[in-house]
Structure 1
Amino acid sequence: MKVAKFGGSSVADSTQLHKVAEIIQNDPERKFIVVSAPGKRDKEDFKVTDMLIQLGNAYINGEDFNKYYSIVISRFKEIIEGLNIPYFILDEIEHNIHNILESDDTNKTKFDAIKAVGEDSSAKVLSAYLNSLGVKASYINPKDAGIMVSNEAGYAEILPESFQKIYTLRERDGILVIPGFFGYTKEGQLATFSRGGSDITGSIIAAGVKASLYENFTDVDSVYSVNPSYVENPNEIRTLTYREMRELSYAGFSVFHNEALIPAFKEQIPVCIKNTNNPLYPGTMIVAEKKPEEKCVVGIASDTGFCSLYVSKYFMNREIGFGRKLFNILEDEGISFEHAPSGIDDMSIIIRESQLTESKEKIILKRITDELHPQTVSLDRGLAMIMIVGEGLVRTVGLASRAATAISDANVNIEMINQGSSEVSMMFGVLSKDLDLAIPSLYKAFFG
């Protein structure tokens, strides 16, 4: 039994859904299908989820939301007409939106439910289309599928007791089409995962039914060793481990949501990334373990939007509780950190810039100064993180030197280096404006 998840570009219009149906029919093992909301049809297009978010915000703010509503309905109308399936499905989508808005739920709950309309509608449309082709298929609501989640709208997490119920889906006949991105709390309230959460749903279903393979269909033939926007025709990665893919996803690889593989990883289920537009291409396999390779580096990832909080104090290492006090200040202000390299007198804390407004920055710097009495405290914005990823990296002699030399050859200054405790990644901090120089130089050093 295979689980196949189709992303936004795969269900963007009726032409793409024709391909999806063909892929499903070409392999009888593809029994569980998870779908995203319709994505962009071209670079200038919009994602349905973005329109639904605009709709929800307009409603909550007491503004006219009909423009966004009309865009969403028109998109599904176009898809339904292109597939030549019954019009009552469009009526269901309209009623669903109106029922959410007119419910007695809080605005927060309504907003989460509105965000999930895209995935829910995609699943209903695909199920109906498969049936019109003579394929026995059923739309399965996440509540009926057993996807029970924590009560954290927009950041829900799967509850362990879900998997036992999900396993019973194996007993159902035909193709089961399940919307991604959301589940239900124990109180029966809809709650979404973080953005891109359809990947999470696919992984949850694969783990729950103990699938032989989890296929993630997107719009690329495979995972590349570097973002093609930095290097033309980069090297394709044929096999990755779970740990490698998670590090790459965290550091800017957009193929997979960085939380998505955890359920599949726990059950040791292999994952294959494939292209809906080229389904016979082998794609990239993600596995628990792989044979050691001569070139341990599999990919170079990067992401922007970071800042560095720097704190320096003589004999910091001897001051019991200094780190705890510093992190308590961040916790009090609702700030999470990404990395925290340190020395005997210094500590740098890497934080997402989006978390730090100017007012919060002033509060944090003042509290650190008043409560911890450092010699220096400063915050630098505009940082980018470069992650060099590969199993066995920590045991490879000279790798850090090669990376540092490559960055230096590009005339880029290294703001920070963090090997940390990871066995599969090494991180370098540079200024965001220097990424265009650093990444090609690193790629040349490791991949030629």
Structure 2
Amino acid sequence: MKVIKFGGSSLASSQQLQKVLSIVEADQQRKYVIVSAPGKRFDGDTKVTDLLIQYARQTIHHQDTQAVVASIIDRYAEIGHGFNVPETQLTPIFETIRNLPKQTYADNTYLMATFKAHGERLNAQLVAAVFQRSGLNARYLDPKEAGMVVTDVPDDAQIIKSSYDQLAKWADSEQILVIPGFFAYNRNGQICTFSRGGSDITGAIVARGVHAERYENFTDVDAIYAVNPNLVAKPAAINEMTFTEMRELSYAGFSVFHDEALIPAIEGNITVNVKNTNHPEAPGTLIKSTREPNPHYPVTGIASSSSFCSLYLRKYLLNKEVGLGRKILTILENHHISYEHMPSGIDDLTIIFDEHQLTPELEKTLVAEISAAINPDEIYFTHDYSILMLVGENMRNRVGIMSRAATALANDDIKLIMVNQGASEISIMFGVHDNDANQAVIALYKEFFN
């Protein structure tokens, strides 16, 4: 039995949904269908989720919403009319869109979460109607009915473990269950959304809950590639990779999965298969607990991300000052800030952050509080910072990977500002300046894949 998830590009139009229908019909094991909101149909188009965000903002600011409501309704109408779904089934969807501002919300964060979630919620209802219209024994299953309960965080909810026991009751369903991704309900019955990649998270949660044999994640690419295809023409496809490799690469910018999205599948030891809706016959990429290493390619993938910044501080005899680290970490904890890495020397220390946590005002506050606590000789933030990840299970068994990588970067005149090997020995992290990041990725790809 399989859980399958379709991304926004796979559900953007009636033509794309026809491909989805064919994929579901082709395999009787595909019993649980997780759907995203309709995505872009062409370059310059707007995702339904983005339209709903605009709708929410206009509602919050008491602006005219007539145009954006019409645009959202048109997206669902095109899909429904393409399959001759009766107006009696389409009208409730349209009315739900119009009535979103009339609901009562605890505050604007819950309003925003509810508006956004309806991209998936209404699309799942529509897809279920299309499946029924096409002769499939299908029905819509709302996350509340499925028993999915999440923590009370409107835009970054976490699944509560008891939800898996409730989902298990839906195992071995005779019907095809169409489930919206991206959201569930807190204990008060309010809608809360998952973080980035929310529909992927839903797919993994459902797969674990119903004890699926496989979780198929359909996107718009034939496979996961060893490097960003926008940087390297025709990059190597990854046939198999481990969960650990995928998480390491996602952390550094791989866009296929958000780094939290696979955790339920990892916990349930469920193999994930990334496939292409437009070429479903392609084998795609398998992600699983273990794999046989390829002796010719010690590196599985290379990724980079520019969403980092660093706090540098220097103080003579820093390494001998007892409690210095605790003082700094206490200040970060008091501001609810996590750090990514903390490489250090005898007299200096660098703390690397995901810069999305920070604001200019918060940076000034941190500098002031850390200065007062430890009296450094020098302290400042740097934002021209990218992290590159070189990842591969087979790296731990090979000598000279670091040397080859550093030489390749040096030959392209790329300055390293930080190097850190992961404790698992399957990843090496390089810090470089933002304007060197893309060239650094290309240099590493040439070294390890050409």
Match of 1:224 in 2: 225
Aligned length: 448
Written as runs of structure 1 = structure 2, the 5 A alignment for 1:31-430 is: 31-106=31-106, 107-294=108-295, 295-430=297-432
- SS class of match (1:317): helix
Q: Give distance in 2, aligned partners of 1:67 and 1:345.
A: 60
Matched residues in 1 for 2:31 and 2:172: separation?
11
SS in 2 for 1:282: coil
Q: Aligned partners of 1:344 and 1:255: how far apart in 2?
A: 39
Distance 1:394 1:324, change over 3 A: farther
Structure 1 residue 99: Cα displacement: 3.9
2:120 is matched by which residue type in structure 1? Answer: E
Q: Is the 8 Å Cα contact of residues 154 and 195 (structure 1) preserved in structure 2?
A: no
- The range that moved more, 225-234 or 423-432, is 423-432
Q: Distance in 1 between matches of 2:391 and 2:154?
A: 32
Contact 1:2–1:213 under 8 Å retained in 2: yes
Provide the secondary structure at the position in 1 that maps to 2:303.
Answer: strand
- How far 1:185 sits from its partner (Å)? 1.1
2-structure distance, mates of 1:96, 1:317: 61
Deviation, structure 1 residue 125? 1.1
Distance 1:125 1:372, change over 3 A: same
Structure 2: runs of 5+ lacking an equivalent: none
SS in 2 for 1:202: helix
User: Which shows bigger deviation, 99-108 or 24-33?
Assistant: 99-108
8 Å Cα contact 1:389-1:426 kept in structure 2: yes
Whole-angstrom distance in 2 between the partners of 1:365 and 1:438: 31
Q: Aligned-pair distance for 1:328?
A: 2.1
Aligned partners of 1:99, 1:169: CA distance in 2, in Å? Answer: 31
Question: Which letter maps to 2:286?
Answer: M
Q: Specify the SS of the correspondent of 1:78.
A: helix
Q: In angstroms, what is the RMSD of aligned CA positions? A: 1.4
Kindly state the Cα deviation for residue 257 of structure 1 after the two structures are TM-superposed. 2.0
Distance 1:322 1:39 in 2: 49
How far did residue 91 of structure 1 move? 2.0
The residue type equivalent to 1:369 in the other structure is S
Q: Deviations over 1:386-408 (max 9, x none)?
A: 10011142342111111111111
1:12 Cα deviation after fit = 0.5
Q: Deviations over 1:27-46 (max 9, x none)?
A: 00000000000111122111
Q: 1:333: Cα distance to partner?
A: 2.9
The CA deviation string for residues 327-373 of structure 1, in whole angstroms up to 9 with x for no partner, is 22223334322222223332211112333222222111121112211
The separation in 1 between residues aligned to 2:95 and 2:334, in whole angstroms, is: 43
SS at the partner of 2:229?
coil
| Distance across 2 between alignment mates of 1:142 and 1:257 | 21
Measure the CA separation in 1 of the matches of 2:299 and 2:334: 39
SS at match of 1:116: helix
The letter for the 1-side match of 2:446 is K
Q: Give me the TM-score of the superposition, normalised by structure 2.
A: 0.97
Give distance in 1, aligned partners of 2:406 and 2:199: 37
CA–CA distance in structure 1, aligned partners of residues 12 and 181 of structure 2: 15
1:378 alignment partner AA: Y
Contact 1:341–1:420 (CA under 8 A) maintained in structure 2: no
**Which stretch shows the higher mean deviation, 167-176 or 243-252?**
167-176
Task: Give the Cα separation in 1 of the matches to 2:356 and 2:196.
Answer: 16
Distance 1:411 1:322 in 2: 36
Distance between the aligned counterparts of 2:322 and 2:412, measured in 1? Answer: 41
Alignment partner of 1:216: what SS?
strand
Give, in whole Å, the separation in 2 of the partners of 1:338 and 1:63. 40
Residue type at the aligned position of 2:116:
K
Indicate conservation of the 8 Å contact 2:171/2:211, yes or no: no
Structure 2 CA distance for partners of 1:324 and 1:98, relative to 1, 3 Å: farther
Separation of aligned partners in 2, 1:269 and 1:88? 39
> Bigger CA drift: 188-197 or 308-317?
308-317
3-state DSSP class of the match of 1:169?
A: coil
Instruction: Describe the SS at the equivalent of 1:308.
Output: strand
Cα distance in structure 1, aligned partners of 2:286 and 2:256: 13
**CA contact under 8 A between 2:386 and 2:437: conserved in structure 1?**
yes
SS class of match (1:170): coil
| 1:59 aligned partner, one-letter code | T
Which amino acid in structure 2 is aligned with residue 32 of structure 1? Y
1:348 alignment partner AA = T
Does the Cα contact within 8 Å between 2:242 and 2:290 map onto a contact in 1? yes
CA–CA distance in structure 1, aligned partners of residues 92 and 385 of structure 2: 47
> What's the offset of the Cα at 1:65?
2.5
Contact 2:69/2:98 (8 A) holds in 1? no
Paired AA for residue 164 in structure 1? D
Contact 1:392/1:423 (<8 A) preserved: no
CA distance in 2 between counterparts of 1:437 and 1:195 reads 27
Q: Runs of 5+ in structure 1 lacking a partner?
A: none
Code of the residue aligned with 2:412 in structure 1: it is A
Aligned equivalents of 1:10 and 1:29: distance in 2? 20
Give me the TM-score of the superposition, normalised by structure 1: 0.97
**What's the CA shift for 1:67?**
2.4
- Matched-pair identity in %: 47
Are 2:73 and 2:97, in contact at CA under 8 Å, matched by a contact in 1? no
Q: CA deviation at 1:171?
A: 4.7
